[in-house]
Amino acid sequence: MAKGNVLQEKSYGFAIRIIKLAHFLKGQKKEQVLSKQIVRCGTSIGANIEEASGAQSDNDFIAKLHISLKEAKETHYWLRLLRDTDYITQEQAESMIEDVNEIITLLTKSLKTIKARKSKNNDA
């Protein structure tokens, strides 16, 4: 992971929290299906951000960040569902929802920036 890349660092830290959440769900709540879903999408955010760092082109970079954004939004959904079905507490959910919302904001800003730069380069 590139040192100093906030998006990579935050998504990696978030993935660790997601894995710990899944471990909690499996151990404490004996829940398997939702825990697999949250791990799949919650860890995919960072994996696609990592892939974007090695993108072959701006289009490839944009595509990977779009996938990360979609996975972040899906993770947001699963966190709300886990909260609203009492698998996790309001407090547990809100902390993780804040984190995923921050990642969504960073991804959205990154995508706007790269698209604006790409458009500017195409106009030149």
Q: Is the distance from CB of 55 to CB of 64 less than 8 angstroms?
A: yes
- For residue 67, being part of any structural domain is answered with yes
- For residue 113, being part of any structural domain is answered with yes
Structural domain count of the chain: 1
Kindly report the CA angle at 65 between 73 and 51, in degrees rounded to 5?
120
Tokens of 93: 């959910």
AA letter at 53? S
Residues 57-95: tens digit of each pLDDT: 999 999 999 999 999 999 999 999 999 999 999 999 999
- For residue 73, being part of any structural domain is answered with yes
- The answer for residues whose C-beta is within 8 angstroms of residue 36's C-beta and 6 or more apart is 22
Positive or negative, the CA dihedral 71, 72, 78, 82 is: positive
Could you tell me the CA-to-CA distances from 80 to 62, 89, 93, 95 in Å, in that order?
27, 10, 7, 11
Q: What is the pTM of this model?
A: 0.91
AA letter at 17? R
- For residue 64, being part of any structural domain is answered with yes
- For residue 51, being part of any structural domain is answered with yes
CATH number of domain containing 97? 1.20.1440.60
- For residue 1, being part of any structural domain is answered with no
Q: What is the DSSP string of 61-84?
A: HHHHHHHHHHHHHHHHHHHHHHHH
Residues 23-69: tens digit of each pLDDT: 999 999 899 999 999 999 999 999 999 999 999 999 999 999 999 99
Work out the pLDDT band at 122, boundaries 50, 70, 90.
Answer: confident
Per the structure, the complete domain to which residue 65 belongs is given by: 6-123
